[in-house]
Amino acid sequence: MEGRPRISQPPSHRSRSRSAAAPHRPPHLGLAARPLAVGTLAAPRSRATSRTSSPPRSVGRPRRPYNFVTTPPRLVYDPSTSPPAATLNALTSPPRTAPPHRIDPQRPIIEVQGLTKLFGAQRALADVNLSVPAGNIGLLGPNGAGKSTLIKCLLNLETPTSGTAKVLGVDIRASNRASRERVGYSPEQDCQIPGMAGCEYVTYCGQLSGMPFRVARQRTHEILDLVGMGQERYRPVDTYSTGMKQRIKLAQALVHDPDIVFLDEPTNGLDPSGREHILTLIGSLWRELGVSVIMSSHLLHDIERVCDRVIIIGHGRVLEHDTIAALKSRHRRIVEVAPASERDRFITALTAAGHQVTALSNGRLRLQSDSDSIEWLLDLMRQQGLPPAEIVANPDALHELFIAAISADHGRNP
């Protein structure tokens, strides 16, 4: 063995023998044949499997769960064929996963007993008790009074510290998908998904509520017509103005045909014409579709325009809860008279009748009365031969009642 001559090897063969453990690198692969990073292990490719037969790898972000169509060919917004001033009667009724429900006007849609919510040492709600019938209900209160917290507790978005509550007869702690599909919600804060077009977002919300894609897409365009959204529905929602975002939030709250909708400050950021349009739409939901509305707002005019009942909240407590007509009748009556002419004669006649008259800058005369009727004023005008006048009873009664309730609560809780 020692005297056997040693066979010399070419350089290329020696290099292969020294690195026998290294993987083979075909020269035509280039950068693709570089070794993987430390800690990774590459599975060897089978020679029997060709490149064309191997399944493609998923590269980049995952595919969307739904095949959204940004511009559906048969449902493109056209002002000549699909005017924005759509009517509620033109809406299609989307199918539900559960049978449709009818709200009994005689039964309460919301029942709350001893509801309390604490955030650490901060008390947001304190022993709230309510029984709310179906209809349009306004939720009034100053900033930080607990309006949004009450809505979130009723929607099971916040867990109450104590107490019980039912929405449409279902306990909020035992709500299921079927009961949640009967409820719509338009939050105060922006809730849209950036990068999605408005019609995509509303369609997606309809699908989350159990609607098939095609039905949700058709219903989306009908609802967007109803809330006054034109070609803007195809723009990304993160480019919308504040008013347009309010319209989109209202659309997503109505797209699945709920029995009750919670609207948290729905007119914030709207211009006067848009605000008028949205208030008219909200006010007609109960009359034409039987959809109850719980509307939170700090604008008394909006509440009085849309709602027939009001709940006033202060420091997490319910201060008043009744119909607006009943609350006004409990307040001392204020009458404003706008004479067409002979304003001085009106002042003289009303003062002689024992009323304190205040002349307003808009030409009206304001006086207080203990009577719930204005017949006494009409009789006085006939007896004195006064000219015709416009009479407005209790023009600011809700405002004064709200101020009185909040002031009394501040006195009890300084």
Pair 272, 364 in one domain: no
Pair 288, 340 in one domain: no
Pair 125, 265 in one domain: yes
For residue 63, pLDDT beyond 50: no
Q: What is the CATH number of the domain that holds 375?
A: 3.30.70.870
1 in any annotated domain:
no
For residue 302, pLDDT beyond 80: yes
77 in any annotated domain:
no
Q: Note down the domain range covering 303.
A: 88-326
Task: Point out the domain boundary residue: 288, 305, 326.
Answer: 326
In whole angstroms, give the CA distance from residue 210 to residue 102.
Answer: 19
Structure token digits, residue 87: 């009517």
Considering only residues 106 and 380, tell me which one the structure prediction assigns the higher pLDDT. Answer: 380
- pLDDT range class, residue 377, cuts 50, 70, 90: confident
Interhelix angle 213-226/242-254, rounded to 10 degrees, is: 130
- Measured CA distances, 177 to 21, 98, 213, 251 (Å): 59, 9, 18, 20
Pair 286, 336 in one domain: no
147 in any annotated domain:
yes
183 in any annotated domain:
yes
For residue 19, pLDDT beyond 80: no
Pair 273, 293 in one domain: yes
The phi, psi pair for 137, rounded to 5°, reads -120, 130
In whole angstroms, give the CA distance from residue 265 to residue 139.
Answer: 10
- pLDDT range class, residue 396, cuts 50, 70, 90: low
Pair 99, 239 in one domain: yes
pTM above 0.85, yes or no: no
165-198 pLDDT, tens digit each: 999 999 998 888 888 889 999 998 888 899 999 9
37 in any annotated domain:
no
Q: What's the average model confidence in pLDDT over 373-381?
A: 78
328-345 pLDDT, tens digit each: 766 656 777 888 888 888
* Most trustworthy range by pLDDT among 30-34, 97-101, 228-232, 251-255: 251-255
First and final C-alpha spacing in the chain? 108
Number of compact structural domains in the chain: 2
- pLDDT range class, residue 61, cuts 50, 70, 90: very low
For residue 297, pLDDT beyond 60: yes
Contact by Cβ (8 Å): 203, 247? no
162 in any annotated domain:
yes
Pair 150, 263 in one domain: yes
For residue 68, pLDDT beyond 70: no
Contact by Cβ (8 Å): 131, 110? yes
Considering only residues 367 and 134, tell me which one the structure prediction assigns the higher pLDDT. Answer: 134
60 in any annotated domain:
no
Q: Give the mean pLDDT of the chain.
A: 76
Pair 269, 366 in one domain: no
In whole angstroms, give the CA distance from residue 31 to residue 29.
Answer: 6
Pair 366, 236 in one domain: no
Pair 358, 248 in one domain: no
For residue 270, pLDDT beyond 60: yes
In whole angstroms, give the CA distance from residue 128 to residue 113.
Answer: 6
Q: What's the average model confidence in pLDDT over 258-279?
A: 90
Task: Point out the domain boundary residue: 293, 309, 326.
Answer: 326
* Most trustworthy range by pLDDT among 59-68, 231-240, 263-272, 389-398: 231-240
Task: Point out the domain boundary residue: 269, 299, 326.
Answer: 326
Helices (H) and strands (E) in the chain, counts: 12, 14
- pLDDT range class, residue 92, cuts 50, 70, 90: low
Contact by Cβ (8 Å): 357, 350? yes
In whole angstroms, give the CA distance from residue 92 to residue 81.
Answer: 17
For residue 303, pLDDT beyond 60: yes
For residue 214, pLDDT beyond 90: yes
401 in any annotated domain:
no
104-114 pLDDT, tens digit each: 777 899 999 99
Q: What is the CATH number of the domain that holds 156?
A: 3.40.50.300
* Most trustworthy range by pLDDT among 151-155, 359-363, 390-394: 151-155
Nearest by Cα to 263 from 115, 136, 144, 164: 136
Pair 197, 253 in one domain: yes
In whole angstroms, give the CA distance from residue 182 to residue 100.
Answer: 9
Pair 152, 250 in one domain: yes
Nearest by Cα to 224 from 187, 194, 243, 199: 199
In whole angstroms, give the CA distance from residue 71 to residue 197.
Answer: 10
For residue 250, pLDDT beyond 60: yes
The dihedral formed by the CA atoms of 364, 370, 373 and 374, expressed in degrees to the nearest 10: -30
- pLDDT range class, residue 398, cuts 50, 70, 90: low
**Tell me, what's the pLDDT at 69?**
38
